[in-house]
Amino acid sequence: MARALRKLSVTIERPADEAYEFLAVPENFRKWASGVGDNEVRLFERNSRGVLDHAVRTPQGTEVYVPLRVVPRGRRCDLVLTLFRQPGMTDERFAADAEWVMRDLKAAKRILEAR
Q: Report pLDDT digits (tens) over 23-81.
A: 999 889 889 999 887 888 898 999 999 999 999 998 888 899 999 999 999 999 999 99
pLDDT for 2 equals 54
When the pLDDT of each residue in the chain is averaged and rounded to a whole number, the result is 93
List the chain domain ranges. Answer: 5-114
The overall pTM is greater than 0.75: yes
Instruction: Give the separation between CA 109 and CA 10, rounded to whole angstroms.
Output: 7
- Fold of the CATH domain 5-114: Alpha-D-Glucose-1,6-Bisphosphate; Chain A, domain 4 (3.30.530)
CA dihedral 33→37→99→16, nearest 10 degrees, is 10
How is 10-78 classified by DSSP, letter by letter?
EEESS-HHHHHHHHTSHHHHHHH-GGGTTSEEEEPPP-SS-B--EEEE-TTS-EEEE-EEEEEETTEEE
